[in-house]
Structure 1
């Protein structure tokens, strides 16, 4: 189990040919934070799995791997949609605050790749951002309504029951009570760095003829600092 968790962490942190190969060698079936699909599935169904993972603990969806009775079979993708086009289609169903990324993994003809040789896969990495849960689809489909809430349970994506919703709300409540998560803090600090750069002497000179722009950015920076202070519970500390 430890090797599975270690390989999962490596694949999540850095999706590439080596980490994918190592993960497939150690995994034997699906877990709550792993989902395998033999082909590129319909967009609304893929969106459902992404939302389910985002509402639980995050995770990874790997396209091009079949989950058989005898274990995982890396078959590769015959139809391989451009990742940008796939994101455009998913944007119709996924909330803006839901954070995920799609990685295209292609193997060449070298023998060292074994069963993965000359095959292509997609890794969809879904972040866990409890400050925004529960996520709901922003568009309904023939498979679900806009009001449906999904989560991961028993290695599958399912509609939430009462206890599942309570678990989701408790996770969000704990973040609100004890402060923002490390992932959120990192993103907020990156955004603050960008805002601060616009307040540099260079940009103030560049936009000297447009003081309203400078004042707006300064206000954004002030509000961003206030939000971070509140999240870290340090706003009243001198």
Structure 2
């Protein structure tokens, strides 16, 4: 199991011909974070698997690999859609916050590729972004509605039950929901600057004119500083 996880991590970090070969040599079946399809499946079905992984822990879908009784068989893709066109089709079903990428992996006839020679595969890497879960399809299909929530369980994609939903919500709550990114930090500091401008010596001298207003501003300033500290994970640093 350790070797499987190590190879999975390498493939997830850097999907290429070498990491794919190593992973296929070590994997014997599907897992919650691995899915194999022999051919390019319909876009709405592929979207369902992507959503299921995104709602669980992320993962990888490999197209061009058949699961048999004797293990995995890398058969390669006969029909090979352009990755850009595939993403356009998937965009009809996937929310834009869902982060994933499609990699085209082609092997030449070099002997080192063994049974992968002259075969093509696609790797779909799905990121785990708990701040956005649960993801739902943005378009209905013949197999699901827009209100359906999917997850990965027992090496398959399934509709969420009560316990599955609780697990998803707990994962979302476990992250710092006040996290501040570099893109929003400037705005937060500008707002703090405006609040601080009311806390000057001159304004304090005249706060008897409207003490409730200045008290409110002072409290807002304190809470804004606390918010920024939490977002930057520095609230407990001296």
The residue that corresponds to 1:165 in the other structure is 165
Could you tell me which residue of structure 1 aligns to residue 81 of structure 2?
81
- The alpha-carbon distance between structure 1 residues 7 and 66, as it changes in their structure 2 partners (threshold 3 A), is same
CA distance in 2, matches of 1:140, 1:64: 26
CA distance in 1, matches of 2:30, 2:188: 40
| Counterpart position of 1:17 | 17
- Between the aligned partners of 2:156 and 2:78, the Cα distance in structure 1 is 24
Q: Distance in 1 between matches of 2:127 and 2:48?
A: 15
In the TM superposition, what is the alpha-carbon distance from 1:114 to its structure 2 partner? 0.5
Partner residue, 1:176: 176
TM-score (norm 2): 0.80
Shift of 1:222: 1.7
Unaligned runs of 5+ in 2: 191-226
State the match for 1:53 in structure 2. Answer: 53
Deviation of 1:225 after TM superposition, in Å, equals 6.5
Return structure 1 stretches of 4+ with deviation > 6 angstroms.
Answer: 224-228, 235-238
Q: Using the alignment, how far apart are the partners of 2:56 and 2:3 within structure 1?
A: 22
Distance 1:116 1:41 in 2: 21
In structure 1, the residue matched to 2:150 is: 150
The match for 2:186 among 202, 212, 222 is 222
Aligned twin of 2:140: 140
Alignment pair present for 1:232 and 2:232: yes
Per-residue CA shift, 1:31-54, capped at 9, x if unaligned? 000000000000000000000000
Question: Take 1:237 and 1:5, find their aligned partners in 2: how far apart are those partners?
Answer: 35
**Residues 40, 228 of structure 1: CA spacing in aligned structure 2 closer, same or farther, 3 A cutoff?**
farther
Residue 111 of structure 1 deviates from its aligned partner by 1.1
Please report the TM-score for the alignment, with normalisation by the length of structure 1: 0.80
Give CA deviations for 1:110-133 in whole Å, capped at 9, x if unaligned.
111011000000000000000100
The total of aligned residue pairs comes to: 202
Quote the Cα distance in structure 2 between the aligned partners of 1:102 and 1:8.
Answer: 16
SS at match of 1:176: coil
Q: Which residue number in structure 2 is paired with residue 35 of structure 1? A: 35
